[in-house]
């Protein structure tokens, strides 16, 4: 497409330049010729008054010499024989025109131009007092007829070349502006077709391509959302198996001893492990579903408001005071919307599961130059061992927990080069801080100011707050 546009621009511009430059050059050439012969006519007219008065050779020679053409040896005067000339033809200067051309000019009585050696000659008839016709001949060299024409053609050629080069350059830039977004869109579509669900394209370029990029990114987000929904559905269905498994475990425990009872209990334990594996597999966000392309990401403020609206009904039922801050303007982050929503649900779900009813909590969003910080704070009993809480699968062997809650949050932060820290909040309970980097994914933050420590404050609550189950 790019080179096709360049070729079309080259052809069109060349035709336009030729259509204007060639006629203009011919006009300039004709104007130079007219200028040369107009000057010759003026030189010839300067001898007219003298010829009308006298045909004396000396006076005519002085008149011819007083003109520019005569001084240059390019003027001749041809006077027919009369009594004043002693009955002989009088010729002053060097004749270049033929006798036939002179006779023709005398007969027709008007000026004419004839070709001579290395140029042209203007033949100007002038009436004498005797009634006869004298001919004033002015020689115009070829170089004077074409004076300035070569320069004009060169200028026109230069302007034409400049126009062609400029149009090709502009067409090339326009082609790049059109082709590159199309190539990125085609590449992203190819990547998406190969299973790289994080493929996105920047929404830039011409209006049509921007619309196509927006539609492609929306489609890719929908694909990621559908896959996420499938994973959550698999996890939810697996969770539903926990209740009958619990009944089976209790019934198996009452079977007493014996090979059959031992085999039954072993089968129940194996089934529980398989269910836990299904839950973990379903809820782990696969790398290829991470939206990390140039057009990927979401508005953290919008997602936070949406999730808080979901949890606010339960908070009202339990008498919890809720504070929300920092979501009054859009803040883009390089995290897929479903992943951020899952991380927020994990943190807010922990607040409701592991703090008493009536416990206040807050959610704050802080937007910096290179990172966005999301703080989830509560006034609960706190976490005794934050390091252990952040360890993947730490609670997987207790109370039927999968141990994926904070691990999901940690993966979301680390996919952007950020991290998760647990400390004590100003409300007196736990504060979970998610640091989401706005730079290149995979870059670990170093030396960020204001890091909270993971140590518990002295005198804090000794009760351990649980992790998401």
Q: Give dist(CA 118, CA 57) in Å, integer.
A: 28
Helix (H) or strand (E) holding 436: strand 430-437
* Burial environment of residue 207 by CB neighbours within 10 A (0 to 12, 13 to 18, 19 or more): exposed
Whole-angstrom Cα distance, residue 436 to residue 348?
A: 18
How many Cβ atoms sit within 10 Å of the Cβ of residue 186?
A: 11
Query: What is the per-residue pLDDT for 441?
Result: 41
- CA-closest candidate to residue 426, choices 373, 360, 374: 360
CA–CA dist 294, 200 (Å, integer): 6
Spatial CA neighbour of 377 closest among 465, 295, 298, 300:
465
Contact 385, 466 (CB under 8 A): no
Judge contact between 442 and 432, C-beta under 8 A.
Answer: no
pLDDT at 238: 66
Q: Does the pTM exceed 0.85? A: no
Per residue of the chain (469 residues), give pLDDT as tens. 556 666 777 777 787 777 777 888 788 778 888 888 888 888 888 888 888 788 788 888 888 888 888 888 888 888 887 766 667 778 888 888 888 888 888 888 888 888 888 888 889 898 887 778 888 989 888 877 777 778 888 888 888 888 888 887 877 777 767 777 787 888 888 888 877 778 888 887 778 888 888 888 888 888 888 877 777 777 666 666 766 776 677 677 777 777 877 788 788 787 777 777 776 666 665 544 444 444 467 899 999 999 999 888 888 988 999 999 999 999 889 888 888 888 898 888 888 888 899 999 999 999 988 899 999 999 988 887 777 676 644 444 334 344 456 777 888 888 888 999 998 888 889 999 999 998 644 444 444 433 333 333 333 333 333 333 2
Cα–Cα distances (Å) from 308 to 40, 117, 134, 362, 443, in that order, read 97, 102, 112, 10, 30
- For residue 90, the cross-strand partners are 79
d(CA 311, CA 350): 12
Are the CB atoms for 323 and 351 separated by under 8 Å?
no
Q: How far apart are CA 336 and CA 339, in angstroms?
A: 5
């Amino acid at each position: 497409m790019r080179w096709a546009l360049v070729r079309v621009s080259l052809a069109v511009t060349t035709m336009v330049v030729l259509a204007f430059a060639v006629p203009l050059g011919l006009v300039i050439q004709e104007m130079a010729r007219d200028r040369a012969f107009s000057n010759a006519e003026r030189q010839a007219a300067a001898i007219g008054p003298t010829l009308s008065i006298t045909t004396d050779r000396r006076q005519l020679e002085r008149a011819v010499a007083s003109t520019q053409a005569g001084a240059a040896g390019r003027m001749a005067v041809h006077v027919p024989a009369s009594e004043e000339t002693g009955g002989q033809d009088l010729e002053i200067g060097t004749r270049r025109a033929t006798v036939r051309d002179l006779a023709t000019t005398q007969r027709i009585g008007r000026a004419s131009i004839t070709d001579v050696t290395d140029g042209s000659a203007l033949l100007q008839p002038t009436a004498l007092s005797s009634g006869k016709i004298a001919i004033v001949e002015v020689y115009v060299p070829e170089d004077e007829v074409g004076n300035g024409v070569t320069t004009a053609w060169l200028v026109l050629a230069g302007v034409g070349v400049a126009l062609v080069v400029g149009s090709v350059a502009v067409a090339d830039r326009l082609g790049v502006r059109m082709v590159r977004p199309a190539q990125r869109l085609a590449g992203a579509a190819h990547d998406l077709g190969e299973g790289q669900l994080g493929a996105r394209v920047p929404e830039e370029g011409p209006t049509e391509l921007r619309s196509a990029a927006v539609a492609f990114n929306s489609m890719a987000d929908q694909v990621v959302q559908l896959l996420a929904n499938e994973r959550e559905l698999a996890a939810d269905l697996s969770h539903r198996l926990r209740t009958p498994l619990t009944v089976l475990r209790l019934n198996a425990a009452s079977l007493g001893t014996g090979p059959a009872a031992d085999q039954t209990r072993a089968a129940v334990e194996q089934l529980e492990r398989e269910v836990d594996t299904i839950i973990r597999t379903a809820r782990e966000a696969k790398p290829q579903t991470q939206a990390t392309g140039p057009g990927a990401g979401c508005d953290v403020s919008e997602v936070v408001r949406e999730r808080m609206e979901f949890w606010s009904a339960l908070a009202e039922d339990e008498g919890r005071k809720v504070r929300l801050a920092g979501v009054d303007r859009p803040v883009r982050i390089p995290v897929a919307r479903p992943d951020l929503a899952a991380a927020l649900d994990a943190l807010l779900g922990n607040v409701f599961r592991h703090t008493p009813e009536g416990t206040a909590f807050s959610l704050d969003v802080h937007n910096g130059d290179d990172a966005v910080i999301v703080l989830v704070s509560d006034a609960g009993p706190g976490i005794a061992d934050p390091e252990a809480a952040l360890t993947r699968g730490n609670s997987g062997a207790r109370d039927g927990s999968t141990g994926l809650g904070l691990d999901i949050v940690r993966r979301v932060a680390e996919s952007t080069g950020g991290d998760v820290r647990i400390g004590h909040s100003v409300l007196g309970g736990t504060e979970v801080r998610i640091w989401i980097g706005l730079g290149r994914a995979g870059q670990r933050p170093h030396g960020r100011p204001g890091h909270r420590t993971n140590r518990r404050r002295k005198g804090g609550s000794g009760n351990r707050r649980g992790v998401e189950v």
